[in-house]
Amino acid sequence: MKIITLTTDFGDTDWFVGAMKGVILNIQPRVVIVDITHGIPAGDIRAGAFALAASWQYFPRKSIHLAVVDPGVGSPRPAIAVQTRDSIFVGPDNGLLSWALRNEPVQGIRRLENEELFLHPVSRTFHGRDVFAPVAARLSKGMSFNNLGPEQKEFVQLPWPKPRRTGNQAEGEVLYIDRFGNAITNLDEALLDGLDQAACRIFLRGKSVAPLQHFYQEVPTGRAIGLVSSSGFLEIAINEGSAAKALKLKIGDPISVHA
């Protein structure tokens, strides 16, 4: 069994994802295709990068992770595949893959330029179907990675906003807001290490908004809480509510923790 995961901004109201799956199954009928999500906001490379980074490691080794959030489709922006020890990542070279690969040793990068692998005619607006799907399917079928096209030394890195720790204080920002309205930050567990967590408060725009605790129901319904989320980062949530709405949180908003 071989797995191809899909992470896109194609949504689920049109036929785009279905067509990609048809192309994949035409080439490799024995594949297992798993949707990570197709609900990335249109063109939001950062959200796509975060979703992929938060999920790919739960899949079996040898999985192929195909991600397409690609506002530059049809332009000369390169498309790439990245080989790591255990997996292959495929997508446009626009930073989308870079957060998943932040801590992964890369064994090879190829530009997808071997046009024999594509679906023809190649459209200028839907490389998910015409370029990425057939390439992922052929890799899943065992085609050599080197067959994809010329080697490339680096790939586009999406800047990862660095959090700061000074004494009893850690500063970061909101990276992602999920469907529950939880705001996930770039403050990881290691950064909070050594802080007296029982004394910690989360600050937003200079005001203390929540304590640092462990699970949603530790605060009363409707109250804000900070906790280390399942992705390993500090998250601001409201027990049975939406922190994004109640605290008017947006991606990029600065957040700090004071012990």
Residues that bind a second copy (CB under 8 A): 1, 3, 5, 7, 10-23, 25-26, 29-30, 32, 34-40, 42-43, 51-52, 54-56, 58-60, 63, 71-75, 123-126, 129-130, 178-180, 214-218, 227-230, 235, 239-240
Q: How far is the CB of 105 from a second copy (least distance, A)?
A: 21
Distance CA 41, CA 48 (A): 8
| C-beta closer to a second copy: residue 14 or 115 | 14
Return the number of the residue (153 or 179) whose C-beta is nearest a second copy.
Answer: 179
* Nearest alpha-carbon partner for 97 in 11, 7, 12: 7
Please return the burial class of 17, using the count of CB atoms within 10 Å of its CB with bins 0-12, 13-18 and 19+.
Answer: buried
Q: How far lies 59's CA from each of 68, 99, 105, 250, in Å? A: 18, 16, 17, 30
Q: Which is nearer to a second copy, 22 or 151 (CB)?
A: 22
Closest separation between CB of residue 164 and a second copy, Å? Answer: 25
CB of 189 to a second copy, least distance (A): 10
> What is the C-alpha separation between 237 and 215, in angstroms, rounded?
10
Q: CA–CA separation, 10 vs 180, rounded Å?
A: 21
Cβ 49 to a second copy shortest distance, Å: 11
Alpha-carbon distances, residue 212 vs 166, 170, 218, 233 (angstroms):
18, 13, 10, 12
- CB count within 10 Å of CB 81 equals 26
CB of 29 to a second copy, least distance (A): 5
- Contact status, residue 68 vs residue 43, Cβ threshold 8 Å: no
Distances (CA, A) of 179 to 89, 96, 176, 183, 200: 25, 20, 10, 10, 26
Pick the closer one to a second copy by CB: 17 or 97: 17
Q: Shortest distance, CB of residue 133 to a second copy, whole angstroms?
A: 9
Nearer of residues 20 and 195 to a second copy, judged by Cβ: 20
Question: Min. distance of Cβ 146 from a second copy in angstroms?
Answer: 27
- Exposure string of 169-191, with b = 16+ CB inside 10 Å and e = fewer, is ebbbbbbbbbeebbbbbbbbeeb
Closest CB to a second copy among residues 124, 162: 124
In degrees and rounded to multiples of 5, residue 211 shows phi and psi of: -80, 165
Cβ closest to a second copy, residue 4 vs residue 204: 4
